Structure 1
Amino acid sequence: MATKLPETMRGQFLHAYKQPYQSRIVPIPKPLHPDDVLIKVDAASYCHTDYVLAQGQMPGLPNSFPHIGCHEFAGTTVSHSAHPSPDAAKFKIGTRVGVTGRAFHACRECFECQGSKDPIAQDEKGYSVHCTRAENNGISKDGGFAEYAVVDARQLAPIPEKLSAVETAPLMCAGITIYAALKRCQLTPGDRVAIMGAGGGLGHLGLQYATKMGFKTLGVDAADGPLNLARSLDTGAQIVDARSEKAADVVEQLGAEDGKRDLGEKGVDAVIILPESQAAFDYGMTLLKSHSKCVIVSFPEAGFHVSSRDIVFRDISIIGSLVGSNKTLREMLDFSAQHGIRAVAKSFPLSELNALVEDYHKGGGGKLVVDMALDGQ
């Protein structure tokens, strides 16, 4: 039997771009659509996209203010709509779930929902994280920086027993994004992959996933905090300070280690670009062997300058990667639980969300998470 819910909740709202969050008491939202599930939010993770959105710098901005951010969170199912769909009914009251922000109310009808050609992002027919008509929690609609949130059951993934809500929340964007990017590299165990921005929220998870997948892993960063974090992980990855080690020198070192003599066969088989820096992009491209892949996750406002010589003469493939399907999401969670992969995270109460944002700007690496339990709930 469902527990009687309070009538109001506390949330942290954006009232305008480039302004701090404001705490407000508002009515608890109601699940109205058959796919809707109301969850009690247990943990909500802060993403770089939250900052980009708050600055008014990204597509898919909120339809109106005030707005509740956060698109990577975790919670517990507390109610359904009056007539729940089969997808919603699968999540019984009390089920612990992780929530990705993508594809709230996917339309079931667009070409993506009917089956695109992307095996990493495609779910069963009738739902896609790339739905052209869907909204997104924390971006175009309210997200997880509140005590309760309405989510689409098709977004959800059950939380494995070995993971807590605080451990799960960062995996709902950072985890699935870097996991899917690694899958797009199409590597086999023993291949080399470089992760640019290896000490950040996605990067330090990527170091863990990549090494557990059996790849020879190179982590590159250019700031003390992230580099220290990357080095502190027991992954066996080679960590490179881009400020003091030139990419060309790293290529020569890898070539010598692999016994390669020709320039085109020295370096890494794939690179993942996480920073919004042209310098990071150029460094990563230099690390690549011929006929290899550059997977781009970041989306700087001005874009990246790409050399056609790399694409034509070196046969470098440039691929974009956003997130993975719900199937990939569940695979990632099970992989994380099985291999002990966790985000290095610092927790804050919901009431101190602005302090969390200040900490984010210090650039220490890892993830920052709102833990609802810290507010005494």
Structure 2
Amino acid sequence: MAIPSTQIAAVIPASGGKDVSDVQISSTHVPHPGDGEVLIKLEFSGVCHSDVHSIRGDTPMKTNVAGHEGVGRVVSVGGGLEEKKWMGQMVGIRWLYSSCLECEICEINHTACPYQRNAGANVPGTFQQYLVSPAIHATKIPVGLSPDLAAPLLCAGIAMYSSIKKSKARPGDWLVIIGAGGGLGHMGIQIAAKKGIKVLAIDTGNKKKELCLSLGATTFLDFREVDIVEGAKTATSGLGVHAVICTANGEKAYEQSMNMLRPLGTLVCVGIPHIPFRLPATPFEMIVKGLTIVGNSAGTDQEMDELLAMALAGDVQAHIEVFDLQDIVDVLQRLERSEIEGRVVLRIP
């Protein structure tokens, strides 16, 4: 197909964004792939709460196009690549747009590369029609997995899959997911339940309660109605839970997460605060209880492949609402108000 010279994108004005309502649908150029790169015509992009943070300036953003859950097909191939291998291939663009693959950190886990580039943060993201990606970092989407359902797996899904592994929760253990009815949490429930882990889902509202329990959560606690720390301890004979994955971004949520843990428990930090604060953990408590605190934002290529295999087998599926790219401001505002159940996916024209 003919590749145009211009495209439409959801762009932050040159003056910088202060509010999600500043995002505008504008015309911009279509990039050309360099050596080792592919040009992708995007078809769908998931929308993440971290996009809200980036656009508002809560977290560093050095590009004018957000988004990091894009799925589309390769339409042009740069030098040094086998064209037959890539043309028409459906691929995904993740938060980890690229890493150096050469430093000491990459030798251990390239998702923590200090030289990494991130889609929608320091390179143009997926809220546009065309995007260039290093071929080595593009995620190949298996045949049989629809692109709209694949998109949320590239951030929300892999973040939870990797977080569950980092939580060290084993079959029969109790895992709390705070924000369980949201874009990340609802996929975390499915992944954990499939692994035989008992999920204590925390969120608010009957719709999210029904969603969480239908996806395999053992118990649901509404944080607006009950003391969730006491509820977690009651469910675990007073010991506390084995692990907590906190996808919420408030200081109180993180404080409650620490208080739910049993001795030798693990807290996985996922939710990004828009107002910085320090975790409420004292050295004494860490020493006496032998706690572990770990952060997570992405997963390895192997973890991504494992998750895609689960999705292809029907073991995990994103619950999505699909909107057009032109609706992005309304979608971002709904995310700000925590009115989204599951995940929003934008249809790229």
TM-score normalised over the length of structure 1: 0.85
Q: Which of 125, 130, 133 is the equivalent residue of 1:151?
A: 133
Amino acid aligned to 1:10 = I
- Counterpart among 329, 333, 353 of residue 328 in structure 2: 353
Q: 1:363 aligned to 2:338?
A: yes
Q: CA deviation at 1:351?
A: 1.9
Q: 2:167 aligns with which of 156, 170, 185?
A: 185
Alpha-carbon distance in structure 1 between the residues aligned to 2:229 and 2:328 = 42
Using the alignment, how far apart are the partners of 2:37 and 2:347 within structure 1? 24
Report the AA paired with residue 258 of structure 2: M
Determine the C-alpha separation between the residues in 1 that align with 2:205 and 2:256: 15
- SS of corresponding position for 1:68: coil
* CA displacement at 1:223 relative to structure 2: 5.0
1:104-183, aligned counterparts within 5 Å? 104=98, 106-113=99-106, 115-116=107-108, 122=109, 128-183=110-165
Change (3 A) 1:31 1:330: same
1:135 touches 1:141 (CA, 8 Å); kept in 2? Answer: yes
Q: CA deviation at 1:324?
A: 0.9
Identify which range, 3-12 or 273-282, moves more after superposition: 3-12
Q: Does 1:240 align with 2:221?
A: yes
Measure the CA separation in 2 of the matches of 1:248 and 1:107: 42
Q: 2:277 matched to which residue of 1?
A: 303
Work out whether residues 201 and 217 of structure 2, in 8 Å CA contact, stay in contact via their aligned partners in 1. Answer: no
Aligned partner of 1:288 among 250, 261, 273: 261
Match in the other structure for 1:10: 8
**What is the aligned partner in structure 2 of residue 26 from structure 1?**
28
RMSD between superposed Cα atoms in Å:
2.0
Q: Shift of residue 136 of structure 1?
A: 1.5
| Residues 54-107 of structure 1, C-alpha deviations (whole Å, 9 max, x = no match) | 111113x215xxx111011111111111333x7xx6852111112112143x33
Q: Distance in 2 between matches of 1:315 and 1:42?
A: 47
Given the superposition, is the C-alpha separation of residues 317 and 90 from structure 1 closer, same or farther in structure 2, using an over 3 Å criterion? farther
Whichever residue aligns with residue 359 of structure 1, its letter is R
Opposite residue 10 of structure 2, the aligned amino acid is Q
Once residues 161 and 276 of structure 1 are traced to their aligned partners in structure 2, the CA distance between those partners, rounded to angstroms, is: 36
The reply to whether residue 316 of structure 1 matches residue 302 of structure 2 is no
Shift of 1:225: 5.4
| More moved, 357-366 vs 237-246 | 357-366
State how far apart, in whole Å, the 1-side matches of 2:105 and 2:36 are: 18
Match of 2:177, SS state, is strand
**CA shift at 1:7, angstroms?**
2.3
Equivalent residues in 2 for 1:57-72 (5 A)? Answer: 57-59=58-60, 61-62=61-62, 67-72=64-69
Report the Cα distance in structure 2 between the residues aligned to 1:214 and 1:91, rounded to whole angstroms.
38
Cα deviation 1:219-269 (Å, max 9, x = unaligned): 1124565445424x331431111222223432443234xxxxxx4xx2211
The SS at the match of 1:160 is coil
Matching of residues 35-74 of structure 1 within 5 Å: 35-59=36-60, 61-62=61-62, 67-74=64-71
1:76 aligned onto 2:73 = yes
The CA distance in 1 between the partners of 2:42 and 2:229, in whole Å, is: 47
What letter is aligned with 2:31?
A: P
- Asked if structure 2 preserves the Cα contact closer than 8 Å seen for 1:13 and 1:24, the reply is yes
Q: What pairs up with 1:90-105 in 2 under 5 angstroms?
A: 91-104=85-98
- The CA distance in 2 between the partners of 1:322 and 1:80, in whole Å, is 29
Q: Tell me if 1:200 matches 2:173.
A: no
Partners of 1:18 and 1:293 in 2: CA distance: 35
Structure 2's unaligned 5+ residue stretches are none
Moved over 6 A (4+): none
- Residue-by-residue CA offset, 1:4-46 (whole Å, 9 max, x unaligned): 32222111111121242212222211001x2211111010111
Instruction: Give the partner amino acid of 2:126.
Output: G
Instruction: Provide the rounded CA distance (Å) in 1 between the counterparts of 2:259 and 2:25.
Output: 46
Q: Which runs of 5+ in 1 are unaligned?
A: 117-121, 123-127, 257-262
Deviation readout 1:85-139 (Å, 9 max, x if unpaired): x7xx6852111112112143x33332223x02xxxxx3xxxxx233222321211
Query: Which whole-Å CA distance do the structure 2 matches of 1:177 and 1:143 have between them?
Result: 18
Q: Taking structure 2 as the reference length, what is the TM-score of the superposition? A: 0.91
Residue 220 (str. 1) matches residue 167 (str. 2): no
Distance 1:357 1:255, change over 3 A: closer
Distance 2:204 2:278 in 1: 18
The answer as to whether partners of 1:195 and 1:219 remain within 8 angstroms in 2 is yes
Q: Which amino acid aligns with 1:246?
A: D
Write the letter of the residue equivalent to 1:247.
I
Question: C-alpha separation between the residues in 1 aligned to 2:201 and 2:118?
Answer: 31
Question: SS at 1:69's partner residue?
Answer: coil
Superimposed CA distance per residue, residues 176-198 of structure 1 (whole angstroms, 9 cap, x where no aligned partner): 11110000012221111111111
Corresponding residue pairs, total: 342
